[in-house]
Structure 1
C-alpha cells in the first residue's frame, strides 16, 4: 500500500467532505446518478430513488426491480425518523403443504419456487409520493441512460457477476439478459441491457401501476405460470408497502434506529445493548477480548433472531423485552471472558446479496436505503424479456410447523436487509449501513463502535478489519494479528479466514458542530462517496 501523508497512513482514502449534498453508494456511476439529481434541485429522497435505480443496472447481481427495499428517512419538515417496509409477500399459492408435497423439508434456496412478490418499485413510489419533489421520469433518467447506452463494468462487480455464470446459463431468459456469449462481462467491458431499459421506461411513464398492474405484471405472471411458479398477477396487483414505526435504543448519548420485523434490525440493536454492558474502553480495538465479546453477543442475538423474527402481522413478537436494557444485562451475564457459549438459545419463552447507499441533501434531509434481490441474481429466474431478475426471498421462510417464521400465503419472510440511522439531540448524525446477510447486524455494530468508542473517522470506521460470526465459526480478515487469532482459539473459537464475506459499508456523518457532511465508502466494494 502507498504511504499516505495523513494521520492514518494505512487508510485507503480520505474522508469525503462537502457542504451541501452527498451520496455514498457501492458503485461510482450510481453515486453520480444521485448527485445529478441533487444538482438538478432534487432532495435526498429524489436522489435516493435515482441511485437505487442506477444500481439495478450497474450492480444487477445484488439488486433489481425484482427485489425488496427498506428505508429510514429523516425529513426536516416533520423532524422525525420514519421507516418504510418495502418487502414483498409470499404468493397466495405458497403453502407449507405444497412444498412438503413436492418433497421439500426446507425452502428451496434458488429457482422459481423461491420467488416472493417484488416490493422495490412500490417502495420507490411511496418515497417519491410522500417525500420527493420529482417524478419517476426525472429520477429514472440516469438508470435508463446506463441501461440503454451501456456502462463499463467495475472490478469487484465483474468478479461477483462471474461467480453467477452457471446460474444464469441455466435459463434462456437469464442468459440472454445478463450474459455476453454465455459469459459474464469483464472488468471495463461495456454492458448494455435493452430489456431492462424498456422496463424502466415503462415505469418512468406509468409509475408503480405499470409494474404491478400493467404489461410488466402480465409478463411476469405469464412466465411464472408457464414455468411452474406460484407468483400470479393478483399477487403483484395487490402488493403494497408499509410505513412502520422504527425501533431504537440509546448508546452513549446517541439514538440508533432500525426497522422493526420482519427485518433483522432488532438483532443489531440487541448486540449493541449487550456490548454496552462491557467496559470497552479497557479493551484494545480488535483485541482478542473485544472480538470475543462481540462474537458472543452476536451469537446470543442471532439465536433470538432465528426464534422470534417474523412477519408481525402473523405473530406477536416481544420487541419491548428484546430491546430492553434489562434483557441485555441478563444476556450479557451469559458471556464468559475465558470461554465460548457452546449452544446459544433464545432468551425468552413464548406462550433469516444486497446494495446499500445513503443520501443527505443541503437541507439535511437524510435517507438510509437498502435494496436487494438476496443471493446473487436472486432466484436466478429472469421474467421473460422484462430484464428483471426475481428475488429468492422465499428461502427466508421456515417449513417447520409452528415456527413463527413458517411459510404462509401473503406473509413476509424474515429479512436480512437493514438500513441504519443514528441521531444526536434529535437531529440526524449518521446515516449508514453494511450490506451482506447477517453480516449487516455485526458490521453495523462494529462500524458504530469504531466511531463512538475508538475515535475513528467515518472512512476509518468503515474500512477497519472486521470479524464475522458464522454458525460456530469466527471469520477474521487478514489484518488481524496472529496473537489475536491465538487468543481467540484459546477461548474456544474456531477461527477461519475468508474473503468477500465481510459486507460493504457506506455512510454519511453530519458533523454536529459544523453541519458539514463527511462521507465514507468501503474499499471492499467498487463505490464512493461524492458530494458538492
Structure 2
C-alpha cells in the first residue's frame, strides 16, 4: 500500500506539473520586473505574489513610483501603457493616459505682448495640464486586473506613509529644480530639508499623498476627478493662478488606441506607441532605414554614421504629428516602404547630410525627465509603460494638502506655433495649444515580438527617447547580452539643432576626429542620460531575463 500511495502521489504530481505547464503554454512560466526604483520593483513583486497579473503589477509599480520618484512621474502626471494580452495570438493594446489641456487653454496663453514668456509653461499652476495617471490606474484595474484596485495600490500607500530614503538620483533631480521647489512652500516642505536638497539617506514621508491614494483605492477614478479632492485641487490651482475647473477633471478620459505595428526582418514585428507619441513612428522609420544599410558589419565610426543619418531623417518628420483627436496624422505616408527606401538611399555613405539641405520641418522641445518600467507575468501578459510629469518635479507646484505634484506638460505644446517658443525653436501648428488637446510626446514604450522571441524596451529622456530605444534594439538585433542593451553608450541627433549630442566617453578621440572629418558637429553633454528598463523572453529556450539601466538605481528581478 505505501508503494501504491507513493505511485498515486507521483502520478498526481505529474498531472499537476502537466496542468501547470499547459497553463503557461503561452507564457514564460515565471514573471519579470524591471523598474527604476527597488521599492517599485518590490511593490510589483508583492502584487504578483498575491495572485495579481502583469496589469495589477503595473498599477502597483506606477503608484509606487509616484511616491518614490516625485521628480519623474506621479498622480499629477500621465503616460502611455502598452499592453500585451497573452494568448495563442497575443493581443496588443495601447492606453493613452497623456495629460489634456484645460478647457480654458488658448493658443496664445503663454504669450505676453506677442512673445513667449519664459517660465509660464514651466513653473507653477498655469503650466499644468489635466492629469491622466489616476484614471489609467482605475481603468487598468477595471478592464485587465485580477485584483481589486485597493489591493494593487496598497504597497504605494504604505510607502507614502512610512517614507523612503533619498538616493543620488533624487538629489540630482532636486538640485536641478531647487529654485523652483523653493518658490512653492508646499513643495519645499515636502521635498526639501530646511530649504535645501536633503542629504543621502534622509527620509521623505508623504501622508497627504497616502490619503489621496486611499481615496482612489476606495472610490476609483471618482476619488480623484470628482468630489472633495477634485474641489481641493481646483481651489488650490486657481488660487495659484491656474485655470483648471471641476469640469476639466470630471471630463478627463483616457483613450484606448491601436498600437503602432511595423513589420521588421526575420518575422519580427515592432509594436510601439502611436500619436500623440511621435516616438513609435521615429523608431519604425529608423529601423526600416537601417535594414537597408550594412550597419551590423560596419566598423564603429561607419555604424555611428548610419545611425546618425537615419535619426536625422526620422526626427525631421516629428513636427508633422499631433494629437490624433485634433489633427490628421500622415502615418501611412511616413511609414510607406517606398518613402523609407528613398530616405535610406539619400544617405551618403561617408559624409554627413547637413540638415539645412533636407526639406524643412518644425523643430520642437520636450522635457527629458520621465520614468519607465516593464513587467511580464508567468502567463505572458506584459506591460511596457512610460510615465511623466515632464521636467523634474513637473511644475514644482504641489496642491496644498493633497500631496499631488503637478506636471508641466503644457510646455510640450508649441507655445507659439507661428513663431518660436522660449527655446528659440520653430513651432508646429499640429502641436499648438488647444482646449482638451494632448501635447505631442516622444515616449516610446515598445515591444518587438517574433514566433520565438519577445523583447521590451523603453526609457525616460524626452526627445532622446527614440534614439536611446533604437540603440538598445540594435543590441537585441545583434544578439548581445540583455544586460548590455540598457548600458549601451548613447548618442543622439534630432535633425535640429544639427549637432550630435553624446554621453562622456561614447566616442574616442580618434572616432571624434573621424566623425568631425565627415562633417558632424559633436557635443559632449558632460553627463549620462536616460534610465532604460528591458525584458527578454526567449520562447524557444524557455528563458526569461530583465535588466535595469546601470545609470540609475533601479532593480530588475525574475520572480517565481
Same fold (TM over 0.5): yes
| Counterpart position of 1:464 | 488
* Structure showing greater relative contact order (alpha-carbon pairs closer than 8 Å, 6 or more residues apart): 1
Distance of aligned partners of 1:466 and 1:83 in 2 relative to their CA distance in 1, 3 Å threshold: same
User: How big is the shift at 1:153?
Assistant: 2.0
Measured in 1, the distance between the counterparts of 2:380 and 2:73 equals 27
Query: In the alignment, is the contact (CA less than 8 A) between 1:521 and 1:529 conserved in 2?
Result: yes
Q: Which residue of 1 aligns with 2:11?
A: none
Q: Counterpart in 2 of 1:379?
A: 395
3-state SS in 1 of match to 2:552: coil
**Partner Cα separation in structure 2 for residue 109 and residue 289 of structure 1:** 39
How do 1:266-277 residues align onto structure 2 when only pairs under 5 Å count? 266-277=281-292
Asked whether the equivalents of residues 474 and 495 of structure 1 are also in contact (C-alpha less than 8 Å), the reply is yes
**Aligned counterparts of 2:249 and 2:522: Cα–Cα separation in 1:** 45
Note closer, same or farther for the CA distance 1:80–1:339 as it changes in structure 2 (3 Å cut). Answer: same
Partners of 1:531 and 1:364 lie apart in 2 by 13
Between 193-202 and 38-47, report the one with greater CA deviation: 193-202
* Contact map agreement 2:457 2:472 (CA 8 A) in 1: no
SS at match of 1:434: coil
- The answer to whether the 8 Å contact 1:199/1:386 transfers is yes
Deviation at 1:184, TM superposition (A): 2.4
**Superimposed CA distance per residue, residues 479-531 of structure 1 (whole angstroms, 9 cap, x where no aligned partner):** 43222111111111111222445311101111121332111110111101012
* Offset, 1:303: 1.3
2: CA distance between counterparts of 1:498 and 1:215? Answer: 45
User: What is the aligned partner in structure 2 of residue 417 from structure 1?
Assistant: 443
- Which whole-Å CA distance do the structure 1 matches of 2:254 and 2:359 have between them? 30
Partner Cα distance (1:504, 1:261) in 2: 22
Are 1:52 and 2:62 matched, yes or no? yes
Q: In the alignment, is residue 309 of structure 1 matched against residue 321 of structure 2?
A: yes
Alignment of 1:74-85 (within 5 A): 74-77=84-87, 79-85=90-96
Structure of higher CA gyration radius: 2
- TM-score, reference length from structure 1: 0.91
The match for 1:482 is 509
Question: In the alignment, what sits opposite 1:154?
Answer: 167
Instruction: Classify 1:145/1:433 alpha carbon distance in 2 versus 1 (closer, same or farther; 3 Å).
Output: same
Per the alignment, residue 7 of structure 2 pairs with none
Equivalence map 1:394-413=2 (5 Å): 394-398=410-414, 399-401=416-418, 403-413=429-439
Within a 5 Å distance, the mapping from 1:215-364 to structure 2 comes to: 215-253=228-266, 254-264=268-278, 265-284=280-299, 287-306=300-319, 308-343=320-355, 345=358, 352=366, 353-364=369-380
CA distance, structure 2, for counterparts of residue 151 and residue 113 of structure 1: 30
1:429 aligns with 2:454: yes
Which residue of structure 2 lines up, in the alignment, with residue 8 of structure 1? none
Q: 1:456 to 1:407 in 2, by over 3 A?
A: same
Shift of 1:112: 2.5
Aligned-residue CA RMSD (Å): 2.0
Query: Which residue among 523, 531, 535 is the counterpart of 1:504?
Result: 531
- Work out whether residues 108 and 114 of structure 1, in 8 Å CA contact, stay in contact via their aligned partners in 2: yes
1:408 Cα offset (Å) = 1.1
Match of 1:493 in 2: 520
Q: Is 1:442 the equivalent of 2:467?
A: yes
- Give 1:321 shift: 1.2
* Structure 1 residue 300: Cα displacement: 1.5
Q: Contact 1:57–1:146 at 8 Å: present in 2 too?
A: yes
Separation in 1 of the partners of 2:453 and 2:85? 10
Secondary structure of residue in 1 paired with 2:94: strand
Contact 1:67 1:391 in 2 (8 A): yes
1:183, CA displacement in angstroms?
A: 1.9
Q: Which moved more, 1:274-283 or 1:436-445?
A: 274-283
SS at match of 1:503: coil
Provide closer, same or farther for how the CA distance between residues 118 and 234 of structure 1 changes in structure 2, counting only shifts above 3 A.
Answer: same
Give a deviation string over 1:357-410, Cα, whole Å, max 9, x none.
000001111110111101101111211221111111111112224811111111
Deviates more, 1:235-244 or 1:411-420: 411-420
Rounded to whole Å, the distance in 2 between the matches of 1:443 and 1:361 is 25
Please report how far the alpha carbon of residue 211 of structure 1 lies from its aligned counterpart in structure 2 after TM superposition. 0.4
Residue 133 of structure 1: aligned partner: 146
Q: Does 1:88 align with 2:130?
A: no
Residue range with higher mean Cα deviation, 67-76 or 102-111: 102-111
Q: CA deviation at 1:280?
A: 1.4
CA distance in 2, matches of 1:418, 1:384: 33
Q: Following the alignment from structure 1 to structure 2, what is the Cα–Cα distance between the partners of residues 278 and 43?
A: 41
Query: What are the ranges of 5 or more consecutive residues in structure 2 without an aligned counterpart?
Result: 1-27, 419-427
Contact 1:267/1:305 (8 A) holds in 2? yes
CA contact 1:421–1:428 (8 Å) conserved in 2: no
CA contact (8 A) 1:277 1:328 kept: no
For residue 348 of structure 1, report the CA deviation from its aligned partner.
9.3
Partner of 1:37: 47
- Is it true that 1:123 corresponds to 2:136 in the alignment? yes
Given that residues 124 and 240 in structure 2 are in contact (C-alpha distance below 8 angstroms), is that contact kept between their aligned partners in structure 1? no
After the TM superposition, which segments of 4 or more aligned residues of structure 1 sit over 6 Å from their partners? none
CA deviation vs aligned residue, 1:44-70 (integer Å, no higher than 9, x gap):
000011011111111110111111110
**SS of residue in 2 equivalent to 1:282:** coil
**1:245, 1:346 → 2: CA distance?**
30
Q: Distance in 1 between matches of 2:382 and 2:542?
A: 13
Match of 1:525 in 2: 552
Which residue is equivalent to 2:71? 61
Secondary structure of 1:435's counterpart equals: coil
